[in-house]
Amino acid sequence: MSAAFAERERTERGLEDEVEILTGGTHPAEEVHPEVVEAMGEVDIDISDREPREVSTEELNECDVVATMGCSTLELDADVEVRDWALDDPHGQSVEKVREIRDEIKQRVSALFDEYYDE
């Protein structure tokens, strides 16, 4: 969800040439959970064709900012800013709970863009 919202923010702000988005997990799920696909579809973002992927420490060390969802024990280079958003895992949650998580992620992504790319 965070990558999809970040992609939308990047496009809406015209930052396609400035912002690269890397998405993945250290222990990714086998599929994007149906309740997440449903909740994102409600805000006109289709993630039904996405596949979870593993992201390596080496890839993360190339980032300026890494946002984790609350399950991270990452130890990255000192120049990488890690933001642990401490969010509930949407897997197995009701669609109502997934909507709450989705809305929180959307707000945090927007705030992160505001912080780095103040309009």
Which residue in the block uniquely carries the two structure tokens 């401490």? 86
CB 33 within 8 A of CB 91: yes
Sign of the Cα torsion 40, 46, 48, 49 reads negative
Question: Position 88: which residue type?
Answer: D
Ranges 25-39, 68-82, 92-106: which has the least confidence: 68-82
Sign of the Cα torsion 55, 92, 37, 64 reads negative
Backbone angles phi, psi at 61, to 5 degrees: -70, -15
**Closest Cα to residue 74, out of 52, 59, 87, 89?**
59
Domains and CATH numbers, the chain: 2-106 (3.40.50.2300)
User: What integer is the mean pLDDT of 77-96?
Assistant: 91
pLDDT of residue 69: 85
* Residue pLDDT, tens place only, 33-72: 999 999 999 999 999 999 999 999 899 999 999 998 876 6
Question: Residue 73: is its pLDDT beyond 70?
Answer: no
CB 54 within 8 A of CB 25: yes
CB 49 within 8 A of CB 112: no
pLDDT of residue 72: 62
**Closest Cα to residue 103, out of 40, 50, 47, 51?**
40
User: Which two three-digit tokens encode residue 50?
Assistant: 């996405």
pLDDT of residue 19: 96
In this prediction the pTM is 0.91
